Structure 1
């Protein structure tokens, strides 16, 4: 085999190891294996993932860019703490983009995005299993599909850039306040109905309630 072929295979193997490390560490953070504020040991992570330290280090840099961890000089990677201020700012940013989307969708009488009802049902099924990570992932897909349905690729890209923080916020919300689940599920159903009825004002009203921090949640994120 040529040197070029060997180099290509080595690069592919390294990328695969990096992706494996990225997926494993990110999932461990989302599911609470690593708690907020905890420092991560590269050697231990490499052992868990079954790679060398280099792919782990590369994965941590990617996770830093996505706001999962902070790289602290001479101390390593620390799981980021999501506080009440960041929670409020994420909700604000989401409301601006999502409210614009539902107004446009209803104004054009487009109805709901494809598969939106199936996503709601899948979320409810995951919630019955208390699989908060899957609920959060599906929730992000559901709301992103609404933004995408509006038809502005730049806004969709901006919205999806918040995905890691949005998912982490949802996982922690459900972990801290699982009693919020019934309200969240009801509002998803109500938003779906309002979009089907082309009712922009009602859709925005539901989003305002859906993305509003309740006092118990603010208190939980302030600890």
Structure 2
């Protein structure tokens, strides 16, 4: 792990990324001593990281036993998508009303996303996908909504990785939707951009069916 930053930050990021990637899977138990040994830090920053991950609903704290990784549920997936549709839909309306077009970063991220997909680096794809959508939210200029959107970051990535693993054949559809969203924003076509977004953030039955309720 990178040095020079507080140990609790490094442990938090190590655990968060492992959970997003699926290296630490839902239901797995986490012991403070084991995490301390894996990360090379004392148990105090591990405990602090546990509390942060618990607050972000990545793990459940178990008194005197450590923690357990929470499992992504079908309900959580649907609620994350619903929240994103509300915030991103507002961003689309704002950008189109202002005639702003698509933020430059959106078009710039399409290529790198597709390259990461070829390498089947789902964690990288999810990171780039999140940056793609966040650039649209940030460009709308509502700092409160952007901050709210940022609270979804880790859960958004975890859901995305799970969905891509379950249905990698949908990546061509996702790529086409990304390009269509940029194209609609570029001509300030709010109705088309919202239509694409709604289709893009629709829970896929084949993914939902493999998740616990």
TM-score range, shorter chain: over 0.9
Quick check: 1:104–1:150 contact (8 Å CA) kept in 2? yes
* Residue aligning to 1:187: 177
Shift of residue 18, structure 1, vs aligned partner:
1.2
Q: Which has the larger radius of gyration?
A: 1
Scaled by the length of structure 2, the TM-score of the pair is: 0.94
Note the alpha carbon deviations across 1:160-212, whole angstroms, 9 max, x for none.
Answer: 11111101100111111111211111100110110011100000000110010
Q: Give 1:37's aligned residue.
A: 27
Structure 2 unmatched ranges of 5 or more: none
* Structure 2 residue aligned with 1:213: 203
**Runs of 4 or more off by more than 3 Å in structure 1?**
none
How far off its partner does 1:222 sit? 3.0
CA drift of 1:115 comes to 1.7
Distance 2:126 2:154 in 1: 10
User: Which string of whole-angstrom CA distances, capped at 9 and with x for unpartnered residues, describes residues 49-98 of structure 1?
Assistant: 11111111111111112221111223321111111111111111110111
1:196 matched residue in structure 2: 186
Residue number in structure 2 paired with 1:60: 50
Partner of 1:4: none
Does 1:178 pair with 2:168? yes
Which of 66, 91, 104 lines up with 1:76 in the alignment?
66
Whether 1:120 and 2:137 are equivalent positions in the alignment is no
RMSD (Å) for aligned C-alpha atoms? 1.5
Give TM-score scaled by structure 1 length: 0.90
Equivalences for residues 132-151 of structure 1 within 5 A? 132-151=122-141
Cα pair 1:67 1:164 within 8 Å, conserved: no
Which residue in 2 is equivalent to 1:17?
7
Residue 152 in structure 1 maps to residue 179 in structure 2:
no
Shift of 1:113: 1.1
Distance 2:55 2:110 in 1: 30
Q: Distance in 2 between matches of 1:72 and 1:180?
A: 37
Residues 1:50 and 2:40 aligned together: yes
Q: Distance in 1 between matches of 2:47 and 2:201?
A: 35
Give the Cα–Cα distance (whole angstroms) in 1 for the partners of residues 62 and 174 of structure 2: 36
How far, CA to CA, are the matches of 1:172 and 1:214 in structure 2?
Answer: 12
